[in-house]
Amino acid sequence: MSQIRPLFKREFLGYFRSPVAYVFLVSFLVISVSLAFSRYGNFFKNGTASLESYFIFFPWLFMFIVPAVGMRLWSEEKRAGTIELLFTLPITTLEAVLGKFLAGWAFLTIAILLSFPMALTVGFLGQPDWGVMAATYLGAILMAGAYLGICALTSALTKNQVISFVLSLAACAVFVFLGLSSFTTTLESILPVSVADMVSNFSFVTHFDAFTKGIIDPKDVIFFLSLMGFTLFLNVVALER
Amino acid sequence: MIEVTGLVKTYGTKRAVDGISFKVNRGEILGFLGPNGAGKSTTMKMLTGFIRPDAGTATVGGIDVTVDPVAVKRQLGYLPESAPAYPEMTVEEFLCFIAEVRGFCNATAQRERVEHVLGLTHLNSVRNQTIETLSKGYKQRVGFAQALIHNPPALILDEPTDGLDPNQKNEVRTLIKNMAAEKAVILSTHILEEVDAICTRVIIIARGRVVADETPAALRARQPGARLDEIFRTLTA
Ligand SMILES: Nc1ncnc2c1ncn2[C@@H]1O[C@H](COP(=O)(O)OP(=O)(O)OP(=O)(O)O)[C@@H](O)[C@H]1O
Ligand SMILES: [Mg+2]
C-alpha cells in the first residue's frame, strides 16, 4: 500500500501541471455562485443566513462537473499508452486505482472548500448555524467521492475521453433522477411502493438533503462510502480483465 | 533468468503469438527480430505482465509473472514500444516519480539514482523540459533512463534505438553491452547490424512462431556469403 503515495502525488499535481485545474476551479466557483444568486437560488431573498441556496444545486452541478474531472483518470492513460508503463511498475491494480481516485477526490474537495468565502460572507451578514454548514460540507465531499467513483469506473472502460464523459454523465444522471419526486411518483404507479422506495433510496439527492439540514445520519454516510467502495472494486475488475 | 514456454496470445481470430519458447541467462543479450506484426511486442507485453497470456508461462528469476506480477515487475526494467511517458511532467519529475514507485523513497537515494541515469542517457540538458516538448530521440532516451533507474537484473527493451541519431545509437549499444555482464537483456530491433554489434543470441519470429534461435555467427553460417537481410528474408518469407 506504500505505493499509493507516489501515485497520488503524481496524479494530484498532474491537475495543476496543466491548465485543467485552474479552468475547472474557476468555472466551478463561477457556476456554483451564480446559481446561488440566480432566480432559482434566491440567496438574498431567502432572508436566512445559510448556504442552503448554494448547496441545493450541488447534486446537479456535480452531475456535469465530476465527469469532467473523472473522465481523464484512465482514458488519458490508455490513449497516451502510459498505462503500459504504469502497470509494468511494481504496483497492484488496487494501489493504482486508489492512488488515482484519492487524487481526484482531493482535487474535488479543494474545489468544494474554495467556496468557503461564501460561508464567511454569510457569517458576516448573519448568524448561520455553523454545525449545519459543516455537515453540508461533509455531505458534499462524500457525494463528490461517490460521483467520482462512478466516473473513474466509466473512464476505465474506454480510451476515448468523449465517450468516457458521456457515459459518466449518463450514469451520474441516473443516480440523481432516481430521487426526483416526479420520477418516484411514476415509479410508484408501476411498482409496489416498497420497491419504488428502495429504488429512490439510491438517489444522491435524497442522501445529500439530510446533510444540508445538518443531519449526519450514519445511513447516508455509509451509502456514499459503500458506493465508492463498490465502484472502486468494479474499477479494479474492469482494469484486470 | 528469463524463461518463456509456449506463450500464446490470440486477438479475436488472429494468433498474434503462437507458442513461443526461449530462455535468457544473465550475461546474454538476446536480439528479438521479426517482420512488422510478427508478435515481438506482444510477447514482451506478456513477459512484463502487462497482458495476460492465453496459454503458456513466463518466469523471471523463477517467479511466474501471472502468479506474483509485482515481484516480477520489481526485477524488470521495461522500455515499451514508442516510450510512453507523462507528457505534462518534466524529465526530472518523471524520473523522480519512477524512482519513488520503484522504492527509492529516501530523497538522497532518489536523487542519486536520477542523477545517475540522467548522466548515462545524456539528458542533463533537457532535465527541466516537459516531456511533450522533447524530440523523438530524447523521448526515447527518457524511456530508456526510466527502465534503468533501479538497476534491474533483467532488461526488456522494445526497439530501444528507434529514433536515435547514429551517435546515440552507438552510445546506447555500448551502454547495453557494458551493463550486460550481470544482466539478462532482451531487445527487439529492425536493425540487423545491431544484432552483429551487440547480441550474443538472436531469435527470429514470424507470424507468432520462432523460426530461428541461435548465435549471430550460426545465423550467418546458414547461408555463407549472404547478407543478413537476405537470410532474414528467407527465414521470414
Ligand atoms: N490490442 C490488439 N488488438 C488486436 N490485435 C492486436 C493488438 N495488439 C497487437 N495486435 C496484433 O498482433 C500482431 C502482433 O503485433 P505486435 O505488436 O506484437 O507486432 P511486432 O512484432 O511488435 O511488430 P512491429 O515490428 O511492427 O512492432 C499484429 O498482427 C497486431 O495487429
Ligand atoms: Mg512492436
Query: Tens digits of per-residue pLDDT, A52-84?
Result: 777 888 888 898 899 988 988 999 999 999 999
- C-alpha distances (whole Å) from A149 to each of A13, A95, A98, A224, B137 are 20, 15, 10, 10, 38
Q: Is residue B110 one of the residues assigned to a domain? A: no
| Strand-strand pairing, B29-33 and B201-206 | parallel
- What is residue B212's DSSP assignment? E
Sheet with strand B14-24: strands edge to edge: B14-24, B2-11, B55-60, B63-64
Kindly state whether B87 is in contact with chain A, defined as any CB-CB distance less than 8 angstroms: yes
Return the pLDDT at B202.
93
The boundaries of the domain holding residue B58 are 2-85+154-236
Mean pLDDT of residues grouped by 10 in chain B (237 residues)?
94 92 93 93 95 94 93 95 93 95 91 94 94 93 94 94 89 89 92 88 92 89 84 86
Q: Is residue B139 one of the residues assigned to a domain? A: no
Query: Is A85 within 8 Å of B48 when comparing Cβ atoms?
Result: no
- Ligand nearest the Cα of residue B33 is 1
Residues of chain A above pLDDT 90, percent: 44
Of the candidates A29, A37, A95, A26, the residue with the CA atom closest to the CA atom of residue A61:
A29
Q: What ipTM is given for this predicted complex?
A: 0.91
Q: How far A73 CA lies from chain B's nearest CA (Å)? A: 13
pLDDT higher for A198 or B197? Answer: B197
Let me know: does A122 contact A49? Beta carbons within 8 Å: yes
- C-alpha distances (whole Å) from B134 to each of A114, A194, B93, B95 are 36, 61, 14, 15
Chain B interface test: which of A84, A94, A95 (most B C-beta within 10 Å)? A84
**Taking chain B, what is the end-to-end CA distance rounded to the nearest angstrom?**
31
Helix (H/G/I), strand (E/B), else coil: A231? helix
Instruction: List the grid coordinates of B2.
Output: 528469463
Q: Is residue B48 one of the residues assigned to a domain? A: yes
Query: Is B82 within 8 Å of A87 when comparing Cβ atoms?
Result: no
Return the pLDDT at B113.
94
Q: Is residue B67 one of the residues assigned to a domain? A: yes
Rounded Cα gap, residues B99 and B102, in angstroms: 5
Confidence of residue A138 (pLDDT cuts 50, 70, 90): very high
The packing angle between helices A130-155 and A93-113, to 10°, is 140
Q: What is the largest CA-CA distance in chain B?
A: 56
Domain ranges for chain A, please list them. Answer: 4-240
Return the pLDDT at A234.
95
**Taking chain A, what is the end-to-end CA distance rounded to the nearest angstrom?**
22
Answer whether residue A170 shows pLDDT above 80: yes
Return the pLDDT at A4.
92
As beta bridge partners, residue B209 has B206
Return the pLDDT at B99.
95
Helix (H/G/I), strand (E/B), else coil: B161? coil
Query: Is A6 within 8 Å of B82 when comparing Cβ atoms?
Result: no
Let me know: does A126 contact A117? Beta carbons within 8 Å: no
Nearest-by-CA chain B residue for A82: B84
CATH number at residue B63: 3.40.50.300
For residue B1, the CA-to-ligand 1 centroid distance in Å is: 26
Residues present in chain A in total: 241
Q: CB contacts < 8 Å between A and B, how many?
A: 59
Chain A interface test: which of B65, B86, B92, B100 (most A C-beta within 10 Å)? B86
Rounded Cα gap, residues B97 and B93, in angstroms: 6
Q: How far A10 CA lies from chain B's nearest CA (Å)? A: 7
pLDDT digits (tens, 9 = 90+) for A5-56: 999 999 999 999 888 889 989 998 888 888 877 766 666 666 666 677 778 8
Instruction: List the grid coordinates of A130.
Output: 455553523
- What is residue A121's DSSP assignment? H
How many distinct structural domains can be found in chain B? 1
Question: Which residue is associated with the grid cell 520489481?
Answer: B74
